[in-house]
Amino acid sequence: MAPSFRDILSSTKKEIREVQVESVKQQLDARRAFKLIDVREGDEYAAGRLPGALSIPRGFLELRIEEKVGRDEELVLYCAGGTRSALAAKTLQDMGYTHVSSMAGGYSRWHDASFPVEKPVVLSAEQKERYRRHLAIPEVGEEGQARLLKAKVLLMGVGGLGSPAALYLAAAGVGTLGIIDMDVVDLSNLQRQVIHTRERAGQPKTESALEAIRSLNPDVKVIPFQERLTSENVLRILEPFEMVLDGGDNFPTRYLLNDACVMLGKPNIHGSIYRFEGQVTSFVPGKGPCYRCLYPRPPPPDLAPSCAEAGVLGVLPGIIGLLQATEALKLILGVGEPLVGRLLNFDALETRFQQLKLRRDPACPVCREGAQVELIDYEQFCAPPM
């Protein structure tokens, strides 16, 4: 006689490893390196999940599991009551996954024990269509897109560097963009500041950028700061954001922004341009050097003229700004190798990239161990000698 479903389930549970919800809770509390896989359907997952769980519905398990985890990683599968996850665990064992468990009692027992759950970001049908090319990338998928939608990135300026960065971060679905800029749109900006238009000349750049981003992607919230960055307001402005894209064009702002980012432990993605040359790097506190390690003191003013003084090829800030945006997306998604401890130089005339290694300065007054950082306005520090 053919075996019944109960027979199959009973046999399956003898071949797999089951873990209790209490054990899973202990592993989460201890921050052990393992992955939780939720094999329930999308509507069940949307109602609540275990903290950090990945959603791979049972019907798609064989198709998607290889994109999400390695065969030697420790996996704990769960469903509503422990049946689907047991069958899924047996399937993965047969596929060669070596450390697979099913959580007995599933989400229902976890919930009944009053253990912590979280409400995942669930994409709407419109969002799934908008971000379809992201969802097809294993390193992004719905989980990654949800992280992008929850992310908060601050842009220092929406000029040559900030304009392309803002547009592409908004298009990618970064949920909140802060913009610091006290200037107004000028006709001379339009050769490179692609977020602005001739019709918005004379308008504050924050308002012009907000209008452009709102038209591009209504998912994105824009927080404008039409003010000059100072030692008095920098911590207030930076505090809600995860990271900063430095598109400023003056040394006092760069030094102040660097010091505040070190104090708050926030990544600072730096970009700069000059005529046909640009550079970009990511300063991540605790993982690499800071801006003051690279430039202990500003260069003489005649060696660091502004774009207005020296000129710049219009497409160059587009290239550097998009590299900054790429660094931000990598940091949000936790993928790839960001430019920490590396300075990427670009020569547009030669179409050549050059990479330089950067090291922390053990005597850096800002990021060395035990340094006492005091925020100051750097106009005097950056001024030419009298």
Taking alpha carbons only, the member of 349, 378, 352, 348 closest to residue 365 is 378
Q: Is 160 helix (H, G, I), strand (E, B) or coil?
A: coil
CA neighbor of 87 nearest in space, from 61, 50, 55: 61
- Alpha-carbon 173 to chain mean position: 11
CA atoms within 13 A on the CB side of 324: 37
Quick one: which of 229, 219, 218 has its CA closest to 258? 229
Q: Count other C-beta atoms under 10 Å from residue 184's C-beta.
A: 17
Entry pTM:
0.82
- Structure confidence at residue 301 (pLDDT): 53
Q: Are 220 and 175 in contact (CB under 8 A)?
A: yes
* Alpha-carbon span 180 to 221, nearest angstrom: 14
Q: What amino acid is encoded at 256 in this protein? A: L
Question: Which residues 6+ apart lie within 8 Å of 240 measured at CB?
Answer: 152, 178, 223
Sheet strand arrangement including 243-246: 221-225, 176-180, 152-156, 243-246, 268-274, 277-283, 342-347, 352-357
- Contact between residue 186 and residue 201 where contact means Cβ atoms under 8 Å apart: yes
Could you tell me the domains of the chain? 5-120 (3.40.250.10), 151-382 (3.40.50.720)
The span from the CA of 5 to the CA of 177, in Å, is 52
pLDDT of residue 385: 45
Residue 71 near residue 97, CB atoms below 8 Å: yes
Task: Answer for the pair 101, 35: CB distance below 8 angstroms, yes or no.
Answer: no
For residue 28, count other CB atoms closer than 10 A to its CB: 17
Own/partner pairs, 131-138, CB within 8 angstroms, 24+ separation: 131/173, 134/172, 134/173, 138/67, 138/68
Closest CA to 102 of 59, 40, 32, 33: 40
Q: Which pairs count as long-range contacts for 43-49, CB under 8 Å and 24+ apart, including other chains?
A: 44/80, 44/107, 45/120, 45/122, 46/120, 46/122, 47/119, 48/107, 48/111, 48/117, 48/118, 48/119, 48/120, 49/107, 49/117, 49/118, 49/119, 49/120
Q: Which of 95, 111, 62, 69 has its CA nearest to residue 103?
A: 111
Q: 10-residue block means of pLDDT along the chain (386 residues)?
A: 88 95 96 94 92 93 90 96 96 95 97 94 91 92 92 97 98 98 96 96 97 96 96 96 94 93 97 95 96 82 56 94 98 96 97 96 92 79 51
